[in-house]
Amino acid sequence: MRDAVIAIGSSLTYGSKYALLDNICWTLSEFDGKYEGCRYWSTRAIAQRTDLQHEHSVPRRVLIGLLLGEPAPSDEDVRRILDFCVGAVVTVEEDQALNAAGLRARMPTGWDGGDVFARYRAAGVELVDTWQSSADRPAPLPRVRHST
């Protein structure tokens, strides 16, 4: 988190800051695993186990816009925004439904900045917290074949 604060406040060009923040957001959303280990899965992805897509619950473009929109963000400001770097595994069809709803790289109209899963609710994608029943550790999921 501190690295993001340093990058934002640095004399780097906008493009370099954007690239660094994009990498940070990507890495955080996959921290526990892109597929196996990812905490949130759609109910359809759990049932289907193939043709899956790793999604960023709040698009990276939105997060970076929030981060670079702060004139001099504190560590706490950055932490609050980066807490939205949450990954979710959905089916390719659900990913396409998000895109068709105009939610590929934006949050739904009227997003209050609080609900990390607002895009999925708006597109009718039901997510499950796979860690919920296992004391904050990933539930064992079988190997999956995913789209690349």
pLDDT above 70 (res 10): yes
Mean pLDDT of the chain: 89
Write the CB contacts of 78 (distance below 8 Å, at least 6 apart in sequence).
1, 4, 5, 8, 67, 70
pLDDT band at 147; cut points 50, 70, 90: very low
Predicted local confidence at residue 135, as pLDDT: 53
pLDDT(24) > 60:
yes
How far apart, in Å, do the first and last CA atoms of the chain sit?
28
Separation between Cα atoms, residue 133 and residue 135, nearest integer Å:
6
Q: What pLDDT, on the 0 to 100 scale, is given for residue 66?
A: 94
Bridge partners, residue 89, by sequence: 41, 54
Residue 99's pLDDT is what? 96
User: Percentage of the chain with pLDDT > 70?
Assistant: 89
Q: What is the mean pLDDT of residues 107-119?
A: 94
- The string of pLDDT tens digits covering residues 30-80 is 999 999 999 999 999 999 999 999 999 999 999 999 999 977 888 999 999
pLDDT per position as a tens digit, 73-110: 889 999 999 999 999 999 999 999 999 999 999 999 99
